[in-house]
Chain A
Amino acid sequence: MKILGIDGSGLVASVAVVEDDNLVGEYTTGYKKTHSQTLLPMLDELKKMIELDLNTVDAIAVAAGPGSFTGLRIASATAKGLGLSLGCPIVSVPTVDALAFNLWGSDAMICPIMDARRGQVYTGLYRFDIDGNFKIERPQCAVDFHEIAEDINSRNPDTVTFLGDGVLVFKELIAELIKAPYKFAPAHLNRQHAASVATLGMLYYKNGECETAAEHRPEYLRLSQAERERLEKEGKA
């Protein structure tokens, strides 16, 4: 089974092809160019390098959100265009799940944090059990950093590993609030990887969790500002 993975949820742009238990190729950049300028040229490079026949791809796994609204849409529209043309299904992989999956096999509690602005983070809590099964302890969510910190403390873990672009922003709050011993994942693991998206996507795909390219849409975890303000106003009225 061959899965194409795509992630444009943050600053990182990443594409990968995973075939069964082999990572055939991955191209990842953490550079300031827009995903509109990076994702497809990178996929083109990768395709040439690994002599990929796109028609042999069984499914496209995309980091569906949360993340940068625009980045998510570029990745999703890319996946939808490919899916429409190739007639293959899309697996929507929660961005935070895929980030946690980078740390496969870790004994620690895993807490990805993505900066969601306004003091909030996109986060979740994860573990790998003794057999290496991926356990979602708290599904991905958009919350105030204090809330996830309290949640972690209430679970009293032996140790916690943080990763994601939120680490830089919340380093001081982590030091202040987190009671358990903690560490930060290093550079080669601490950001989005399309290989993780593709590998996790393959698991979901085998569980029958996929959708058509037409059905697929990003999962923002947040309303637009205009909708939020309208609902607040209507709630008060």
Chain B
Amino acid sequence: MDTKEIKILAIESSCDETAAAVVVNGRDVRSNIISTQIPLHTLYGGVVPEIASRKHIERINQVIEQALEAADMSLEDMDGIAVTYGPGLVGALLVGVAEAKAIAFATNKPLIGVHHIEGHISANYIENKDLEPPFLCLVVSGGHTHLVRVVDYGKYEILGRTRDDAAGEAFDKVARAIGLGYPGGPKIEKAALEGNPFAYNFTRPKVADGLYDFSFSGLKSQVLNYINSAAMKGEEIDNNDIAASFQQTVIDTLCDHASMAIEEFGMDKFAIAGGVASNQTLRKAMEDMCREKGVKFYHPSPILCTDNAAMIGAAAYYEFLAGKFDGWDLNAIPNLKLGER
């Protein structure tokens, strides 16, 4: 009986976190180091791609060395080197990709390119040892909003995606409009706790020709228009109420879509993933919805919701088992599609 442990060094640099992790057998995280650049980008009100790329290259070796040290392992112990190669900011991705390729090349280990969203979905495997496909997963972050049917490991069917802004992007834009600043997600969530979610009645966005697709740009405009017209009329508005009502509308929309898909496909497991999945109000709403339906609900801890490399190591393990390795010409693909590779 083969009881060999598969140890993977994973690297993630698709946006504004430089991250490295050591993951054993896809679910056992031995280290998960994240060096965030958020304070730096706050100066600009959002992520500046060139600055992100510059910071990645300044931090990447230290982050990898810390990940190996925290796992008490060396590069020689690794069975494979995994890296996010898309989607994301191309300049940022390229730092991780070039670094991972060079390490795999120099140590003569297999190279595993990982899809960032597959990583987010796989974050659920880490703390839920019982979770196996098939299940339904809602991925919500600053760059992505996807409703995905996880058919099998490495096999995904996209039911719905955003047609314009990602949910997290709408959080950022509304946060800016009411003076909360960047990053918008946690700031809206905090303000919303002090506000009334039913104070303003924003319309839930619908996409005419896509049952499960999302559109958050219209909702964002609704909120911005409301704020502008109130300002012109000299009316007082309560920013906490705006935050709470906006957040509630986003959550209701996400819940509706997930609930419909659970019914249509007869799913008995539902997971959330991505940065916005750490929003407690969203999590509670999803949990309640699942309880009502008798569906098992999964979610990663906040540290595994944010961009991290442990989730990349989790996804890479199943690629490793399937023998899906990449060549030295692996390139960063900023708009890499899920399930199309």
- Chain A residues with CB under 8 Å of chain B are 34, 36-41, 43-44, 54, 69-70, 73-86, 213-214, 217-218, 220, 224-227, 230
Chosen A-B contacts, 6 in total, with CB atoms closer than 8 Å, are: A43-B105, A43-B328, A78-B99, A81-B103, A81-B105, A227-B51
Min Cβ gap A75→B in Å is 8
Residues of A within 8 A of B44 (CB): 226, 230
A36-B332, A85-B103, A86-B106 given; name 10 further pairs at CB < 8 Å: A36-B329, A40-B105, A70-B53, A77-B95, A77-B96, A78-B101, A81-B99, A84-B103, A214-B61, A230-B43
Question: Which one of B58, B106, B330 has the highest number of Cβ atoms from chain A below 10 Å of its Cβ?
Answer: B106
Q: Which of B54, B96, B98, B107 is the one whose CB lies under 8 Å from A85?
A: B107
Q: Which of B43, B51, B57, B101 is the one whose CB lies under 8 Å from A217?
A: B57
In terms of DSSP, what is the predominant structure of the interface of chain A?
A: helix
Question: Which one of A38, A75, A77 has the highest number of Cβ atoms from chain B below 10 Å of its Cβ?
Answer: A77
Residues of A within 8 A of B54 (CB): 73, 217, 220, 224
Contacting pair B62 A214 (CB below 8 A): yes
Q: Which of B51, B94, B102 is the one whose CB lies under 8 Å from A81?
A: B102
Contacting pair B328 A41 (CB below 8 A): yes
Contacting pair A76 B100 (CB below 8 A): no
B317-331 contacts to A, CB under 8 A, are 327-331
Total B residues in contact with A, Cβ cutoff 8 Å: 36
Given the contacts A224-B54, A225-B50, A79 and B331 also touching, CB distance less than 8 Å: no
B48 close to A (CB within 8 Å)? yes
- Chain B residues with CB under 8 Å of chain A are 43-44, 48, 50-51, 53-54, 57-58, 60-62, 64-65, 75, 90-91, 94-103, 105-107, 327-332
Given the contacts A76-B57, A214-B61, A226 and B98 also touching, CB distance less than 8 Å: no
Query: With the chains together, A95 CA to B166 CA distance in Å?
Result: 41
Given the contacts A70-B94, A86-B106, A80 and B57 also touching, CB distance less than 8 Å: yes
Residues of A within 8 A of B60 (CB): 77, 80
Residues of A within 8 A of B329 (CB): 36-38, 40-41
Residues of B within 8 A of A37 (CB): 329, 331
Contacting pair B57 A81 (CB below 8 A): no
Min Cβ gap B190→A in Å is 27
Contacting pair A77 B94 (CB below 8 A): yes
Residues of A within 8 A of B61 (CB): 80, 83-84, 213-214
Nearest B residue to A8 by beta-carbon distance? B98
Min Cβ gap B39→A in Å is 14
Query: With the chains together, A224 CA to B49 CA distance in Å?
Result: 9
Residues of B within 8 A of A41 (CB): 327-329
Question: Which one of A40, A81, A218 has the highest number of Cβ atoms from chain B below 10 Å of its Cβ?
Answer: A81
Residues of A within 8 A of B43 (CB): 230
Contacting pair A226 B331 (CB below 8 A): no
Nearest A residue to B92 by beta-carbon distance? A73
Given the contacts A36-B332, A225-B50, A81 and B101 also touching, CB distance less than 8 Å: yes
Min Cβ gap B23→A in Å is 19
Contacting pair B57 A73 (CB below 8 A): yes
Q: Which of B50, B98, B100 is the one whose CB lies under 8 Å from A74?
A: B98
Min Cβ gap B15→A in Å is 15
Query: With the chains together, A203 CA to B123 CA distance in Å?
Result: 48
